[in-house]
């Protein structure tokens, strides 16, 4: 089988996408993942290294991948017993299956000579990261509207929707960066939270400590008699109730700082978490390191799953099946939970010293 390898130099194309049941899928493609051996990898065999560090595939796959040259060291095919040394270049030539995203249109709000703003749908990451490359805002805008290059001025979490600002050249991007570092930007979000949120402005000053392993933040308060130093970063968010029906409230959120999951964890701290935010609806959620979530589901969970049903697999005429791929014949990676929904958190406005951009409110923010 002739393999066409893709690289970041190959821009996404409109024909790379497949639409099915409200989801946007990417046709699987071949891609070289490159990493350099960390010090803690040194002394391990190439197969043991992959089996221990990348648990999404079975041990036998890595043995076959090394033997066939799908995994190489410093550009050379090696034996499965090869012992890796620090700083060596390790390549994994992979049949890449990206997770699906919601198939909502990315609406261009304003298009200027050096700035473009869009309304980001939930579930789509802003730029290539993790398992996503083409199924990103940057990739889709390039494929469908020819918009490139784009420099993100700010980020939104993958499950968050709303205003995104892109600079269209490096100079404008640098100008925005200086304004951000100078604390000159004001940000506004809207959220749908549980319960009757109090009237009047509510200000939360509470450190936010992000646990990268668990993918979750927690709040820390400086208690008067505590001798334990705070690990989190200083964070402040201002909240104002817009409306309520008693069961849920629509709240305007103004983060003064920009910590990971700041709005989400500060709303949890007030006792009014975002109404569909599984991660913060309870202080006692299942740990991601134990169970996994979405495309990052742990191998111990999905390796025992039954084979995909015909309805979940792609028509083999739509893309080439790779006999070595552990994700074929489906479009999505094995173990991916495709039923996730976007958070009830939406960016509505960014304001700078002499500019302001905004995005319409989402449907869930209205009665």
3-state percent breakdown (helix, strand, coil) of the chain, nearest 5: 20, 30, 50
Closest to 235 (Cα-Cα) out of 197, 214, 209, 198? 209
**105 vs 108, 128, 164, CA distance in Å?**
9, 18, 14
**Helices 46-53, 59-68: inter-axial angle, 10-degree rounding:** 140
- Whole-angstrom CA distances from 255 to 78, 98, 227 are 51, 32, 28
The DSSP annotation for 241-297 comes to EEEE-SSEEEEEEEESS--TTHHHHHHHHHT--BTT-TTTS-SSPPPTTTS--GGG-
The answer to whether residue 222 is catalytic is no
Furthest-apart CA atoms within the chain: distance in Å: 68
Q: How far apart are CA 189 and CA 261, in angstroms?
A: 13
Residue 349 DSSP symbol: E
Residues 6+ apart with CB under 8 A from 122: 102, 104, 158, 159, 160, 161, 341, 342, 343
Residues 6+ apart with CB under 8 A from 201: 238, 239, 240
Catalytic residue selected from 48, 157, 296, 337 = 157
Strands 186-194 and 345-351: antiparallel
- 8 Å CB contact between 276 and 344: yes
Look at residues 135, 133, 34 and name the one whose alpha carbon lies nearest to residue 90: 34
Q: How far is CA 168 from CA 1, 110, 111, 127, 205, in A?
A: 40, 12, 10, 15, 35
Nearest to 357 by CA among 139, 136, 154: 154
Catalytic residues, by residue number, are: 157
């Amino acid at each position: 089988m002739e393999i066409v390898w893709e690289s970041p130099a190959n821009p996404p194309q409109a024909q790379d996408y497949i639409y099915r049941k409200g989801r946007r899928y990417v046709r699987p493609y071949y891609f070289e993942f490159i990493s350099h051996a960390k010090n803690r990898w040194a002394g391990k065999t190439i197969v043991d290294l992959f089996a221990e560090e990348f648990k999404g595939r079975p041990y036998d796959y890595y043995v076959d991948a090394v033997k066939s040259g799908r995994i190489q060291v410093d550009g050379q095919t090696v034996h499965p017993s090869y012992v890796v040394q620090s700083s060596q270049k390790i390549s994994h030539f992979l049949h890449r299956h990206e997770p699906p995203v919601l198939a909502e249109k990315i609406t261009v709000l304003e298009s200027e000579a050096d700035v473009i703003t869009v309304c980001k749908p939930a579930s789509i990451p802003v730029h290539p990261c993790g398992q996503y490359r083409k199924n990103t805002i940057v990739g889709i805008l390039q494929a469908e509207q020819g918009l490139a290059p784009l420099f993100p001025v700010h980020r939104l979490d993958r499950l968050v929707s709303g205003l995104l600002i892109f600079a269209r050249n490096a100079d404008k991007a640098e100008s925005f960066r200086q304004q951000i570092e100078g604390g000159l930007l004001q940000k506004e979000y809207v959220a749908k939270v549980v319960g009757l949120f109090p009237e009047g402005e509510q200000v939360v000053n509470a450190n936010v400590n992000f646990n990268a392993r668990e993918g979750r933040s927690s709040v820390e308060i400086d208690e008067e008699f505590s001798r334990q130093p705070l690990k989190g970063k200083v964070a402040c968010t201002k909240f104002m109730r817009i409306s309520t029906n008693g069961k849920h409230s629509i709240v305007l959120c103004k983060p003064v700082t920009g910590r990971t999951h700041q709005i989400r964890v500060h709303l949890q701290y007030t006792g009014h978490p975002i109404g569909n935010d599984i991660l913060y609806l309870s202080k006692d959620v299942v740990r991601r390191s134990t169970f996994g979530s979405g495309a990052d589901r742990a191998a111990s969970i999905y390796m025992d799953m039954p084979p995909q049903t015909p309805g979940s697999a792609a028509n083999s005429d739509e893309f080439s099946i790779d006999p070595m791929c552990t994700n074929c014949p489906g479009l999505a990676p094995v173990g991916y939970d495709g039923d996730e929904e976007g958070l009830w958190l939406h960016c509505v406005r960014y304001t700078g010293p002499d500019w302001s951009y905004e995005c319409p409110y989402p449907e869930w923010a209205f009665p």
